[in-house]
Structure 1
Amino acid sequence: MKILIAGGSGFVGQKLTELLFKKGHDIIILTRKGKQSEGTIKFVQWIKEGSSPEKEIGGVDVVINLAGVSINDGRWTENHQRQIYESRMTATAELLRIVEALSEKPSVFINASAIGIYPPSHDTVYTEKSTEVANDFLGRTVHDWERKAATMMEHGIRTVFMRFGVVLGNEGGALPLMALPYRLFMGGTVGSGVQWVSWVHITDVVHAIVFAIENNRLNGPVNVTAPNPKRMKDFGKTIGAVLHRPHWFPVPALLMKAALGKKSSLVLEGQHVLPKVLTNEGFEFKFPTLESALRDLFY
């Protein structure tokens, strides 16, 4: 297949490109920087004055949208929050414009999303059938992002919203920072410890995206989280156990708020999210338990 990826140079995008390349697909990566194409991987410039990517793309079978400023980088100032929001709206709008300009439409559109759309809760279990939307920055951002992406359906294109949980990997995401205190023998419970961490191994993320491409029954929201989420206290204890480090140095919520500001909500709040669509369709997680995921990443 011929697959177009926006955000192919990011944490998830790089791993996904590697997997798609191994499977023999032709890949086009939209980039703001001029890059020389490499074999079956073609780089096309976009979102820059004078660029017309639709003239270089031709027909594509799949469009994948992973573009957007990372929520993990930098303090959540008003300016950074605006960049997070606007980068997603701008990239999605441009992909819609590109697809509208193509004479041959793709058969499927995969749009990155996040479980941040669900309200934080200690008790509620969320699945793809849950309709609650968090009334905070992430909830509003994800809601508006999905609503914008849903416009693809007007062209008869199967559209899937991959709602990523806390993605665990060595090259990016939250894990390196979460593991650092334990490596320094200073790990412990963050905040109350009862908040949920709906995590997922990066390998399962990219395989889930490929699964969504190949499975025509998948439409709309798809939770991309491991089937066994953990409360923060147990999450930390598992990191300590796998690294053979103590879990003893508590990090109060006030300290996290002082250090991270509004972004502290990423670790002080959480959602208990289950991947019902993936499991019901027969997707097999390579790392269904946190211990197996951490052992793979740490060793």
Structure 2
Amino acid sequence: MHILITGGTGLIGSTLVKRWQNHYKLTILSRTPQNVTARFGDGVTAVASLADVDFNNITAVINLAGEPIVGKRWSKRQKQELCHSRWRCTASLVDAINRASTPPQVLISGSAIGFYGAQHTQLISEDFSHYHDDFPHQLCERWEMLAQEAASPQTRVCLLRTGIVLSKSGGALKKMLPPFQLGLGGRIGNGEQYMSWVHIDDIVQIIEFLLLHPTLQGVFNATAPTPVTNAQFSQELAQVLHRPALLPIPAFMLNLLLGEMATLLLDGQRVIPANLIKAGYQFRFKELKPALTDLLSGQSAL
């Protein structure tokens, strides 16, 4: 099997590459191919342009490219970069797939639970349609529409609406750890907003599950079956680290520091993976505390 991966040096992509590089032929699209080779060795092929890829010889495409949505204030320029880094790559992939005489059998394309927009306690499965028309929804909606244009009798498309990926190597959990390790952590705002999370091991296994089951297509929420409130998340993280969680972060402070991006932390989505469960996927980590314990054993102090 020959797999093309975009975003192969990101949190999810790099974990996939390490899992697959001794089992499949991998081609990684990167603006800096030399960094891919330095990171993963000569067992993977790195290319700087899709023009260097023969899509007639690609079995599957895993599309994870995109500027990280958290980290910079959402200025007009940053919003454009967030959108274009996803939309341009996806459109180029779809164009290449559609021009191939023997196209890839599957495109698994990243999206996010931000597709649903800011929600509250409403339980959300893939058929939920009362979207809140905010920036994350607009970003994900077009991203998914572009990916879906690759669908044909030869190519199935799976859209992966990913939640908060928990990993000790990066992402949200790594950013949260320092204050919690010092006993300075706590809920964000009133703590009632839901956090739909997924362990890094499950997200890569979900992608592999979709890859290896040729009847699966459409939208899949890539979240654990048990979303928790921010207050619950904060308490369980503190318990795993054997630290108190007594210092909440006021909502107004986040709004001052982050501007519009604060909505990602102050508004939530209570998302469940109904389609994955229906398809028979077995989560390794269904509950938050075992997931955190697995990731953070031995991490109780700085």
TM over 0.5: yes
1:212 maps to 2:210: yes
- For normalisation by structure 1, the TM-score amounts to 0.94
Q: Is the 8 A contact 1:182 1:245 kept in 2?
A: yes
Correspondence for 1:41 among 30, 44, 49: 44
What letter corresponds to residue 152 of structure 1 in structure 2?
A
Moved more, 4-13 or 128-137: 128-137
CA contact (8 A) 2:166 2:172 kept: yes
Query: Where does residue 24 of structure 2 map in the other structure?
Result: 25
Q: Which residue of 1 aligns with 2:189?
A: 191
CA contact (8 A) 1:222 1:277 kept: yes
Could you tell me how far 1:17 is from its partner in structure 2? 0.9
Cα distance in 1 between the residues matched to 2:17 and 2:136: 27
1:79 to 2:77 alignment: yes
Residue type matched to 2:45 in 1?
K
Q: Secondary structure at the match of 1:193?
A: coil
Unpaired runs of at least 5, structure 2? 298-302
SS at match of 1:152: coil
What's the CA shift string for 1:197-219, capped at 9, x where partnerless? 00001111011000001112321
Q: CA deviation at 1:58?
A: 4.9
Counterpart of 2:252 (choices 236, 251, 254) is 254
Greater Cα shift, 81-90 or 99-108: 99-108
Distance 1:79 1:238 in 2: 37
1:265-284 → structure 2 map (5 Å cutoff): 265-284=263-282
**Partner amino acid, structure 1, of 2:2:** K
Paired residues, what number?
A: 293
Give 1:1-299 correspondences, 5 Å limit: 1-22=1-22, 24-35=23-34, 38-46=41-49, 52-55=51-54, 58-154=56-152, 156-299=154-297
Identity of aligned residues (%): 35
Q: Is the 8 A contact 1:31 1:44 kept in 2?
A: yes
Residues 56 and 103, structure 2, Cα contact 8 Å, conserved in 1: no
Normalising by the residue count of structure 2, what TM-score does the alignment of the two structures yield? 0.93
Distance in 2, matches of 1:179 and 1:281, equals 34
Aligned to 2:300: none
CA distance in 2, matches of 1:224, 1:141: 18
- Give the aligned residue type for 1:185: G
Rounded Cα–Cα distance in structure 1 between residues aligned with 2:48 and 2:100? 16
Superposed CA RMSD: 1.6
How far is the alpha carbon of 1:189 from its aligned partner? 1.4
Contact 1:119 1:132 in 2 (8 A): no
